[in-house]
Structure 1
């Protein structure tokens, strides 16, 4: 029944209604000075006009605050006006504002009640005006009495219905504008939430890539240092240096990702093709030699999203090779005009190979493969894995074009 509206709007409506009443009531008295009512004395008719005007303008004052109460007051004022035999008055203009409010700010039920009031009120008003304007002295006119009354009532009724319907339709149009704005705002909020979720997923994926790769290098170097500590201490020293460098690099990357998580707008620098050499160097320090082939070479500067995807896919694939493979790993990059093809192939222990005591045999895959596939799909590409008895191959095709931006 009562809506929550800002106080300035309520004050504006009340002030506007008071201003309209102060203008239209004197105009109504002046307009109907000769014959204010068809069957009430002048003093009573004047009182009824003032009461009717206050009801209608009171309805207009609270039409935004409570469309149902405003419509009830407007109907009460209109019926009181007709019951007192008053003619159409300038104060009736406030009814247009009430009908506008029912369709603009009312509930769904009030919307249709306002439309029905526009039609029903127009028909009733047309009949009432037809009765008031009927001239008894013109009974001798060629047209019968009933026909003249019907034509006059229909004409006035259609005029009033159209006028009231225009006010109701204007409110309906404003209602649609407001709903469109609300839908747009809801869509923008949903897009913001989706973008934030994608950002969290991206950061989680980067975190997985950084931590998994760095830990794989650290574990490999630690195992090597443990075995070389007694026989070749200098190799153990080099392994410790590599572990320290890898840990510092991983710590820096994790700090950058956490900074992005706290300040989403401030994205840090992302890896590019220029960082692949450092990645291959880390793999070599872990005891795995990447045999890299680039044919053909990139034609110009690839998009940043493609460079990041290539780096992350190679990082995860090489991490799998360090953790699960044996021997060296073959890496091939083919930069074509419309796509880049990636192939990473490494030997893995056969299923029958015994595992170390206290360990569980593992095979490449799991979250790492899922992350690589998501990386490829993010730029419109595809990624497949081929798990043979002795070989594990990762193949990816990433488009270089509008879908990669």
Structure 2
């Protein structure tokens, strides 16, 4: 893993960082303005101008190459001390260089910056202590005597220097730590999101695989009925022509039901073994009464004339209602009622369940990683319909839209007491 702030270039160019061109251009412009301003403040001998030029160069490349900037800063400081120049306003650039060595540079340059803080503070302390005596060399200062005062002055100035230089380096290190923590949180967030997506894919894939157990039974039974009806109609065509129409009707109905059952992939998805008949629309009454027995207040409304649904579609409606009511009981505000609506048309049935939320949720949180919502979506999708499940204000709505087989009337499930038509 590449450490943040370290260039991904080959080892030959490790001293150079990859930064946007506009960032480098901005640094150069800032350094140019810095140089022009310092010419007005620190203009003096050619040595002063040379020092300012080198410090400006260090300031310009500090983010592009912290190692080069640190080298230029040491070069400028050395020229400044050899020339006997006083403290210049341009020395502020040294603080900026130390900051970037800790904030953006690699381990070697970062350690070099820390060493520079200690060594630079000591050198600056000695230089300033000697300069205070009005001499240009340490030997001359020692020859003046009063070595104790010189040592004391050097120590105090070194402490001040290390505080100033160390503060810049420490601020850079704190910036680096904060950036690394932010990157770590972002990486962790992406990992969690990828894990959730993978879990949802696993849930869907498991449910798709389990339907293979039901494929043989559905297709084999339906094809056997179709073949038997077709053979019977062919043999009885001469003696009883009316039997042909009746057989064709049976074949059509059976084929439509088989098509619906094959598409849903969710018939008995999580039952390892089918031990008995599966729920149909007529069983909704019993389901609603069971949920009411838990204390859930359910208002059930049915509108329109019901149409014929295949067995798989009926199972899908039952399971969607069952899962939605169970979620309302587990996660919703049971102190407020749940609304269940079945809206019939000639070709479709719309199922809507609204329940009050106990706590506010977001769509991302509502997606979850369990079997419930993915299972409901698969049931609706593979029955030829669609399903949405999302929070709306203070409520959570599950809405499914499933197709019917024909426009003929079907048996309406017996409504529980208090249900309005």
More contact order relative to length (CA 8 Å, sep ≥ 6):
2
Q: Is the 8 A contact 1:218 1:243 kept in 2?
A: no
Distance in 2 between the 1:189 and 1:296 partners?
42
Residues 132-175 of structure 1: CA deviation (Å, up to 9, x unaligned): 11258xx9xxx971111011111111111111111111111211
Answering whether residue 25 of structure 2 is matched by residue 11 of structure 1, we say yes
Give the structure 1 partner of residue 60 of structure 2.
61
Distance in 2 between the 1:378 and 1:82 partners?
74
Q: Is the 8 A contact 2:222 2:258 kept in 1?
A: no
TM-score (norm 2): 0.54
Q: 1:297 aligns with which of 285, 288, 291?
A: 291
Q: Is the 8 A contact 2:203 2:371 kept in 1?
A: no
Q: Is the 8 A contact 1:222 1:240 kept in 2?
A: no
Distance in 1 between the 2:215 and 2:229 partners?
21
Give the structure 1 partner of residue 159 of structure 2.
158
Distance in 2 between the 1:188 and 1:146 partners?
61
Distance in 2 between the 1:99 and 1:123 partners?
16
Residues 312-345 of structure 1: CA deviation (Å, up to 9, x unaligned): 9x88xx9xxxxxxxxxxxxxxx989977xxxxxx
TM-score (norm 1): 0.56
The alignment partner of 2:291 has SS state of coil
Alpha-carbon deviation of 1:83?
A: 1.4
Distance in 2 between the 1:376 and 1:47 partners?
71
Alpha-carbon deviation of 1:236?
A: 8.6
Answering whether residue 121 of structure 2 is matched by residue 122 of structure 1, we say yes
Give the structure 1 partner of residue 112 of structure 2.
113
Alpha-carbon deviation of 1:235?
A: 7.2
Answering whether residue 38 of structure 2 is matched by residue 24 of structure 1, we say yes
Taking only aligned residues, the RMSD between alpha carbons, in angstroms, comes to 4.2
Distance 1:108 1:216, change over 3 A: farther
Give the structure 2 partner of residue 131 of structure 1.
130
Alpha-carbon deviation of 1:21?
A: 1.3
The answer to which of 163-172 and 192-201 deviates more is: 192-201
Distance in 2 between the 1:193 and 1:81 partners?
56
Distance in 2 between the 1:64 and 1:235 partners?
84
The alignment partner of 2:279 has SS state of helix
Matched residue count: 271
Q: Is the 8 A contact 1:52 1:78 kept in 2?
A: yes
Distance in 2 between the 1:83 and 1:95 partners?
17
Q: Is the 8 A contact 1:48 1:84 kept in 2?
A: yes
Distance in 2 between the 1:212 and 1:47 partners?
91
Distance 1:129 1:301, change over 3 A: farther
Q: Is the 8 A contact 1:222 1:239 kept in 2?
A: no
Give the structure 2 partner of residue 245 of structure 1.
257
Residues 348-368 of structure 1: CA deviation (Å, up to 9, x unaligned): xxxxxxxxxxxxxxxxxxxxx
Residues 42-95 of structure 1: CA deviation (Å, up to 9, x unaligned): xxxx12111111111101100000001111111111111111111211111110
The alignment partner of 2:105 has SS state of coil
Q: How does 1:139-158 map to 2 (within 5 A)?
A: 145-158=146-159
Q: Is the 8 A contact 2:73 2:97 kept in 1?
A: yes
Give the structure 1 partner of residue 240 of structure 2.
none
The answer to which of 5-14 and 109-118 deviates more is: 109-118
Residues 82-124 of structure 1: CA deviation (Å, up to 9, x unaligned): 1111121111111011111111110122222211111211111
The answer to which of 59-68 and 102-111 deviates more is: 102-111
Distance in 2 between the 1:216 and 1:225 partners?
14
Distance 1:191 1:116, change over 3 A: same
Q: Is the 8 A contact 1:221 1:240 kept in 2?
A: no
Distance in 1 between the 2:203 and 2:27 partners?
51
Distance 1:64 1:377, change over 3 A: closer
Give the structure 1 partner of residue 303 of structure 2.
none
